[in-house]
A and B are shown apart, each in its own frame.
Chain A
């Protein structure tokens, strides 16, 4: 008996059977408590419980208590292995509580007709929301806009690469330039919407409008027509995010082996040749990371659109996120909005999986 325990527990002292039993009892006790509280609250919200609750907070507290008990029991039952599990448990339990549970809850909401501003409450309506989604031309337009915004990441990448090359060249006061180039990344997109979008691009007296007039655009209206507005939004977003890509690429450039470039120069390669034949291929893995990360962030784009154009003109600048935000703000339709979001999530998961597969396959071919 003692022998077997030592075998099962190669590290640390063997654990007394009493301690193990207490640990198991703790888990069961906490689980029972959690189940009891949730059951009581569910009964109460159905209108037939023995106790009355103001809100669902008791369930939240019961969950926190359960999580603590689970962690303590790990140490009691499994000793040092339990102590190790304790490193990952808090983050895992937290993520489950705030992501997994709401996502499943959202999946349920998505199939209901639920308007927060009406008194009727939620009503299960099957796939009605899904059917409405397929006939919602604004939603499909927003998805189309996302294709444009994501494609523009390549332009952002090209600019960021040039900037990284500039910073990697032998220049004086490199730290100053780096800090200056980094500043836009620090700024809140909402503040930028005002600073650049509503102030610098102001039609009558914004300096940028003045510059555009100077360059021959007689009536510069950056947010008037659909295409102009899309490009303006993209320009604002690019201005904020190019430093992010640039820093990743700069780190990659600085990690490149100097000898290879040196050898190419000795062999008489022009800078242009040595960039395309040596630097660019060597930078592909870093580039892939930077572009994929940037695309993932781009798929969440919302705040600039909400603050600049609110999706207009005619939904031309909508991202999916800003469209759902409008759906909720203007119609407070939680059920339909959630269905739109869930559908988008499925598309994103498919897209990102394909993207990652493509990248990893392509990377193997290169190396």
Chain B
């Protein structure tokens, strides 16, 4: 007995170690599952609530087909369920109007920001500027320092200015503002991208007779395209979700989706399914982008952060 124990002592030790390792693995996976649940449950809850009647909501039913029988109730109230999709619906018209506004505002602003920001970032990455006392470092800082400017500082002056410029409640006005809020981030990401492209490439192309702008558009831009996509998507997320400026500066014409969602929550006696449907459609485009283009989001977020 003791002899057998002695012989197996080595093996017993490794088995204890193995137990510990397995325990560690289990712990890691338990933690992963827990946080995935924390991250995804609210989304799941919102999507399922669009199919719940009042009774199912108030009784806190969670699993469809088991706890409750799903119905198109939330989508019907938005005019987007299978049976109402072909009928005239004022709610749907309003919703689609806001949706289109959101798409135009966020895509327009992101495009403009990527265009302006990439040009500036390329210039700052390649050439030596001197404007008055400002050198490259100071110009970069000037752009990046816009990041700390809180929206409230600009909101009220813009309200007055836009009134004078007849830009209040217009899409172009909101695009101009959104561009401003994401421009520093785009410049940050793109400067990092251009820094990783060797200067020798530019020089070789210039020897071959391309102009400065030719080098940028024909040689450098195709290489930097993934970075530009990353910057564009990150801008898109920020602009799509922006609420503060939109709430102050838009009214009937240019109102975006977040403002519509917010205005519904304030009213008394919310119909849960309708709100859930509205919230679902407000987050759906970005959830899809997040799943499909996750690579670019991470690329955009991590650019320049390693230094």
Chain A residues proximal to chain B, CB less than 8 Å:
54-57, 60, 80, 83-88, 90-92, 94-95, 98-99, 102-103, 105-106, 109, 116, 162-163, 166, 169, 171, 175, 177-196, 198-200, 204-207, 210, 239, 243-244, 247-248, 251-252, 255, 285-286, 289-290, 293, 296, 299-300, 302-303, 306-307, 320-321, 324-325, 328, 334, 337-338, 340-342, 344-345, 348-349, 352
- A60 contacts across to B, CB distance below 8 A: 165
Tell me whether B154 and A99 are in contact (CB under 8 A): yes
From B39, B45, B216, A183 is in contact (CB under 8 Å) with: B39
**Alpha-carbon distance between A166 and B257 when the two chains are bound, in angstroms:** 35
Tell me whether B298 and A251 are in contact (CB under 8 A): yes
**Alpha-carbon distance between A98 and B289 when the two chains are bound, in angstroms:** 30
From A95, A163, A286, B183 is in contact (CB under 8 Å) with: A95
Tell me whether B120 and A195 are in contact (CB under 8 A): no
The bracket for how many chain B residues form the interface is 35 or more
Query: Whose C-beta in chain B lies nearest to the C-beta of A41?
Result: B164
User: Which residues of B (221-248) have their CB < 8 Å from a CB of A?
Assistant: 237, 240-241, 243-244, 247-248
User: Which residues of B (260-283) have their CB < 8 Å from a CB of A?
Assistant: 261-262, 265, 270, 272, 275-276, 279, 282-283
Of B4-12, B53-61, B70-78, B90-98, the one touching chain A: B53-61
- B298 contacts across to A, CB distance below 8 A: 178, 182, 247, 251
Query: Whose C-beta in chain B lies nearest to the C-beta of A300?
Result: B150
Tell me whether B43 and A195 are in contact (CB under 8 A): yes
Query: Whose C-beta in chain B lies nearest to the C-beta of A87?
Result: B123
- B213 contacts across to A, CB distance below 8 A: 83, 86
Interface string of B266-306 (1 = CB under 8 A from A): 00001010011001001100110111001001100110011
From B32, B120, B152, B261, A166 is in contact (CB under 8 Å) with: B32
Query: Whose C-beta in chain B lies nearest to the C-beta of A98?
Result: B180
Tell me whether A199 and B28 are in contact (CB under 8 A): no
Query: 6 pairs across A/B with beta carbons < 8 Å?
Result: A84-B123, A102-B157, A178-B298, A182-B298, A185-B290, A299-B148
- B160 contacts across to A, CB distance below 8 A: 105, 109, 334
Total CB contacts across the A-B interface at under 8 A: 283
Q: Is B117 interfacial (CB 8 A cutoff)?
A: yes
Q: Is B119 interfacial (CB 8 A cutoff)?
A: yes
Tell me whether A83 and B139 are in contact (CB under 8 A): no
**Chain A nearest CB: distance from B97 CB in Å?**
17
Tell me whether A195 and B42 are in contact (CB under 8 A): yes
Tell me whether A300 and B151 are in contact (CB under 8 A): yes
Of listed A102, A255, A342, A352, residue having the most chain B CB within 10 A: A102
Main secondary structure of the interface of B (DSSP, over half): helix
Chain B residues proximal to chain A, CB less than 8 Å:
28-29, 31-32, 35-36, 38-40, 42-43, 45-46, 49, 57-60, 62, 116-117, 119-120, 122-124, 127, 129, 139, 142-143, 146-161, 164-166, 176-177, 179-180, 183, 187, 211-213, 216, 237, 240-241, 243-244, 247-248, 257-259, 261-262, 265, 270, 272, 275-276, 279, 282-283, 286-287, 289-291, 294, 297-298, 301-302, 305-307
Tell me whether A103 and B157 are in contact (CB under 8 A): yes
Tell me whether A248 and B301 are in contact (CB under 8 A): yes
- A199 contacts across to B, CB distance below 8 A: 45-46, 49, 272, 275-276
**Alpha-carbon distance between A46 and B149 when the two chains are bound, in angstroms:** 32
Given contacts A95-B143, A179-B294, A187-B286, 16 further A-B contacts (CB under 8 A): A84-B129, A87-B127, A91-B119, A92-B142, A94-B179, A94-B183, A177-B36, A181-B35, A183-B287, A186-B237, A186-B287, A239-B38, A306-B243, A321-B244, A338-B156, A345-B153
- A185 contacts across to B, CB distance below 8 A: 237, 290
Query: Whose C-beta in chain A lies nearest to the C-beta of B151?
Result: A300
Tell me whether A194 and B241 are in contact (CB under 8 A): no
**Chain B nearest CB: distance from A189 CB in Å?**
6
Query: Whose C-beta in chain B lies nearest to the C-beta of A97?
Result: B176
Tell me whether B265 and A193 are in contact (CB under 8 A): yes
- B244 contacts across to A, CB distance below 8 A: 302-303, 306, 321, 325
Of listed A166, A190, A243, A334, residue having the most chain B CB within 10 A: A190
